[in-house]
Structure 1
Amino acid sequence: MREFNAVVLGAGGVGKSALTVRFMRNEFLESYDPTIQEEYRETVVVDGEPTLLEVLDTAGAEQFTALNEIYISAGRGFVLVFSLTLEASLREVTNLRQQILRIKGENSRVPMVLVGTKLDLTNEREVSPAYVAELSGRWKIPVYETSAKRDWDVTEAFEDLVRQMRQYYPIEERRKKKGRKRRDRIRGGCPCIIM
C-alpha cells in the first residue's frame, strides 16, 4: 500500500479542521477551537486502490509562519483552504501557494487543491464563483467549493489530491532496483567485483 502525507494550510478560522475531520472521521465540528497542529492517519480507497493517507491540519498560517516552512518541506500534497465567506482569506492562500512553489521549486507541478469552505452560508458569501474559477485557471490547480457541515465535495477534494500524488510520485525506483538485483543474482550467479 502506498503512503502519502498531505498538509492543510490556510488562514485561521476558515474551516481547515472542520474540512479535515469531515473527511477523516466523517464528523462535523460544531465549535471553533483554534488548532496548533493535528495529525490524522487513515486508509482511504480512491479508484479502488487503498492508500495510507496522513493529513496534517495546521494552525492559521499567520499565527505560526515559522512552522509553515517545515510543513511545506515535508509535505507531498497540499490543501489550500479559504473561506467563501471571507474574501481576505484568499490573500493568505496566495501567499502560501507562493511559499510552496519557492520551497518545492517554481517549475514543479506540486500536488495541490484549492478549497473554498462554508458553501452552505450562501447569504454570507464574499467570493464569487467566477473569481474562484479564474484563480483555478490561472494557477492550474483544481478548485472545490465545499461545506463540511453538509458534507458537500469534501471527499472529492481529498480524492483529487490523492490522485495527483499518485501521479506525481511514482512508485519508488529503489523498490524496482531491489527486485532487479535479485533477479540478476539468480540469473548470473555470484556478483563479481573488478579492481
Structure 2
Amino acid sequence: MREYKVVVLGSGGVGKSALTVQFVTGSFIEKYDPTIEDFYRKEIEVDSSPSVLEILDTAGTEQFASMRDLYIKNGQGFILVYSLVNQQSFQDIKPMRDQIIRVKRYERVPMILVGNKVDLEGEREVSSGEGKALADEWNCPFMETSAKNKSSVDELFAEIVRQMNYASTPNGDDQCCSSCVIL
C-alpha cells in the first residue's frame, strides 16, 4: 500500500483544519481554534488502488511561517486552501505556492488549489473564474469545497492522490529525474 505525505497550506481561518477533520472523521468543526500543527492518517482507495495518507494540517499564521520549508521539503502533495469569502486569503496563497516551487526546485509538484466555504456563496469575494485562472496559470486542478456541507471534500483528497500517483509513475508528464541513474 502506498503512503503519501499531504500538506495542507493556507492563511489562518480559511478552513484547512475543517476540511481535514471533515475528510478524516466525517465531522465539522464549528469553533475556530488556530492550529500550530496537526497530523492525521487515513486509508483511502482511489481508482481501485489503496493508499494511506499522512495529512499535515499546518498553521496559517505568519508566526509559524518559518516551519513551512520543513513541511514542504517532506511533503509529496499540497492542498493550497483559500477562503472564497476572503480576498486577502486568495492573495496570501500565491507566495505559498512560490515557496513550494522554491523548496522542491521543481515546477510540477502535485498540488490542488482549493476555494473553501462555498456554503457562504452570498458573502463571496473571490469568483470561481479567479480561482480557475490561477489554477490554469499554475497548471494544477482547482476545486471549490465546503467543509461544513462536506461538498467535494472526499473528491479533493481523491484528486490529490491521483496527482501524486501520476507524479510517481515513470511515464508521468514532465517527470524530473524519477528514474535517473548517475554513474
Rounded Cα–Cα distance in structure 2 between residues aligned with 1:51 and 1:74: 17
8 Å contact 2:12–2:61 — kept in the other structure?
yes
8 Å contact 1:61–1:68 — kept in the other structure?
no
Unaligned 5+ residue runs, structure 1?
172-195
Deviating above 2 A after TM superposition, structure 1's stretches of 4 or more consecutive aligned residues are none
C-alpha displacement of 1:61: 4.5
Q: Which moved more, 1:61-70 or 1:120-129?
A: 61-70
8 Å contact 1:9–1:61 — kept in the other structure?
no
Rounded Cα–Cα distance in structure 1 between residues aligned with 2:159 and 2:84: 20
C-alpha displacement of 1:158: 1.1
Rounded Cα–Cα distance in structure 1 between residues aligned with 2:129 and 2:58: 28
1:83-120 Cα offsets, whole Å, 9 max, x none, are 000010012210100000011114x3100001111000
Rounded Cα–Cα distance in structure 2 between residues aligned with 1:37 and 1:2: 23
What residue identity is the alignment partner of 2:51? T
2:3 corresponds to = 3
Q: Percent identity?
A: 50
1:27 corresponds to = 27
Rounded Cα–Cα distance in structure 1 between residues aligned with 2:169 and 2:142: 24
What residue identity is the alignment partner of 2:35? T
* TM-score normalised by L of structure 2: 0.90
1:146 corresponds to = 145
C-alpha displacement of 1:155: 1.1
- Say whether 1:100 aligns with 2:100: yes
- Say whether 1:136 aligns with 2:135: yes
Work out the number of aligned pairs and report it.
Answer: 170
Output aligned runs, 1:8-87, within 5 Å: 8-87=8-87
1:23-74 Cα offsets, whole Å, 9 max, x none, are 1111111110111100001111111211011000001152311100000001
Rounded Cα–Cα distance in structure 1 between residues aligned with 2:119 and 2:63: 27
2:176 corresponds to = none
Unaligned 5+ residue runs, structure 2?
171-183
What residue identity is the alignment partner of 1:123? G
RMSD value over aligned CA atoms? 1.1
* TM-score normalised by L of structure 1: 0.84
